[in-house]
Amino acid sequence: MTKLTKTIIASALVSTAMWALPASAQQAGSANAGNSESMRDVGSDDFKPGRAKPIAPPKLSEDEASRAAPLTDEETAVKSYGVVGKSSDGKAIREAPSEAIRNLVIEEMNAPADGGQSGDDAASGPQKTEDPALNEGDEANRQVFGDDDRVQIKNTKVYPFSAIGYLEAKSPKTGSYGSCSATLIGPRTVLTAAHCLYSHEDKDWLDEFLFVPALNGSTADDAPFGSFTYDSAYILQGFIDNYQGYYGSVVPWDLGIVTLKQDVGNSLGWLGYSNFDDLGDFTANIVGYPGDKPMGTMWRATCDVMAENIGPENFAYDCDTYPGSSGSSVYAYDNKSKQRIITGVNIAESPDANTAIRLNAVNIEWINSLWK
């Protein structure tokens, strides 16, 4: 058993159940390359480079799986997939899980626990295929696995990099700013991690979320499309309700959505996202804003994710990341559809690997309910 396999087994145990995924891929959001028109937010002056400190990915220790109390009650598990949010004008948002989510959660809790992954049966999932955009021109505190093979994206204004951005937030409690990475998945919808939006340490939401697509440097002039203010932010209810004092208790719910006030995605494009029940070996791409690199520069890491390290709710990999990379989408290039498909979100580190929350069937349904 490899170290990575041990890591994913540990994170999978921090779970409502060892769920089996549906029998077919759930194509949820198709990619869109945008219309290539330049777009700037009238509120772009809100971006003040250098004021934010990269938000460190939570550490997932090896003993957290045994300490986390699993959810065995159906109603509690269903409730975990409710929507908890806040609007930019300070209004609290709460929505109960949809009937579709309820049915998925109950079905999967009662499914056999032998729905493992198999690289031999991954024909419908993305394969070990490099994203051609990463090979064009020169586009070729977190421990780095082996040599640091991250490569800077120098032309951030072209798709798909135009759909990837720097996400900034302010702590109402301390007044300090933190930064993560995030990805457009719709005209107004930005995908990131819940811990980039809500602080268990503060026991409160962060605020003043600002999305800066294609940021490429340390000054406001390096934001080619300006910055975009948020309309609302959402996380899974389980990320709050199921917290037991340490991060491992909420790994399965570390997923967040930010809705922007403007439909910037129509101009800059967005990435697709999907659930593959037979997600086997695939090449993962993580593009974002690691804090150990010059401020505001975009970097990509590429590595292979093996089927043995893919669990029902999380998967592990050796892609190099760093504080600031939290919330980055983990996407595969699907050679069949010629699309970039997000399969997970980079959320945590452990002694042996980095961890992504997997976009499984329930998470896809939750995202779809908020997509704009």
pLDDT tens per residue across span 325-334: 999 999 999 8
Best CA proximity match to 282, nearest among 137, 105, 124: 124
Phi/psi for 31 (5° steps) reads: -75, 160
For residue 64, the model assigns a pLDDT of 66
CA distances from 371 to 13, 39, 184, 264, 272 (A): 29, 21, 11, 14, 12
For residue 19, the model assigns a pLDDT of 34
pTM value is 0.87
Cβ–Cβ under 8 Å, residues 299 and 320:
no
Mean pLDDT of 170-192: 96
Which helix (H) or strand (E) is 174 found in, with range? none
Cβ–Cβ under 8 Å, residues 181 and 195:
no
For residue 121, the model assigns a pLDDT of 41
Mean pLDDT of 66-93: 88
Coil, helix or strand for 358? strand
Q: Mean of the per-residue pLDDT values for the chain?
A: 83
Which of the two residues, 201 and 31, has the higher pLDDT score?
A: 201
For residue 336, the model assigns a pLDDT of 83
Q: Does domain 3-370 bear CATH number 2.60.40.10?
A: no
Best CA proximity match to 355, nearest among 42, 59, 2, 35: 59
Q: Which amino acid is at 108?
A: E
Domain boundaries along the sequence of the chain: 3-370
Q: Which two tokens stand for residue 275?
A: 């659930």
Look at residue 74 and tell me whether its pLDDT is greater than 70: yes
Other C-beta atoms closer than 10 Å to the C-beta of 146 total 7
Residue 145: pLDDT band by 50, 70, 90 thresholds? very low
Which of the two residues, 43 and 177, has the higher pLDDT score?
A: 177
How far from the centroid of its chain's Cα atoms is residue 260's Cα? Answer: 17
Cβ–Cβ under 8 Å, residues 24 and 276:
no
Question: What's the CA gap between 101 and 37, in Å, rounded?
Answer: 37
Of the given ranges (75-79, 113-117, 335-339), which has the lowest mean pLDDT? 113-117
Question: What's the CA gap between 183 and 192, in Å, rounded?
Answer: 7
Residue 337: pLDDT band by 50, 70, 90 thresholds? confident
Look at residue 10 and tell me whether its pLDDT is greater than 60: no
Percent with pLDDT over 70 in the chain: 79
Residue 119: pLDDT band by 50, 70, 90 thresholds? very low
**Cα torsion at 106, 197, 5, 120 (round to 10°)?**
60
Q: In terms of C-beta density within 10 A (0-12 exposed, 13-18 middle, 19 or more buried), how is residue 69 classed? A: exposed
Other C-beta atoms closer than 10 Å to the C-beta of 124 total 13
Cβ–Cβ under 8 Å, residues 268 and 39:
yes
Question: What's the CA gap between 147 and 303, in Å, rounded?
Answer: 12
Mean pLDDT of 149-168: 94
Mean pLDDT of 336-361: 89
pLDDT tens digits along 267-314:
999 999 999 888 889 999 999 999 999 999 999 999 999 999 998 899
Cβ–Cβ under 8 Å, residues 255 and 194:
yes
Cβ–Cβ under 8 Å, residues 302 and 130:
yes
- Which residues is 211 bridged to in the sheet? 167, 228
Residue 125: pLDDT band by 50, 70, 90 thresholds? low
For residue 297, the model assigns a pLDDT of 96
For residue 110, the model assigns a pLDDT of 82
pLDDT tens digits along 16-70:
332 333 333 344 678 888 876 666 654 556 889 899 999 988 887 766 655 666 6
Cis peptide before 160 (omega within 30 of 0): yes
Question: What's the CA gap between 249 and 272, in Å, rounded?
Answer: 29
pLDDT tens digits along 208-250:
999 999 999 999 899 999 999 999 999 999 999 999 999 989 9
For residue 116, the model assigns a pLDDT of 45
Residue with tokens 């590429």: 302
For residue 67, the model assigns a pLDDT of 66
Which of the two residues, 25 and 151, has the higher pLDDT score?
A: 151
Best CA proximity match to 278, nearest among 11, 22, 92, 59: 22
Q: Concatenated DSSP letters for 42-94?
A: TTGGG--TT-EEEPPPPB--TTHHHHSPPP--HHHHHHTTSEEEEETTS-EEE
Best CA proximity match to 82, nearest among 65, 69, 70, 99: 99
Q: Which amino acid is at 311?
A: G
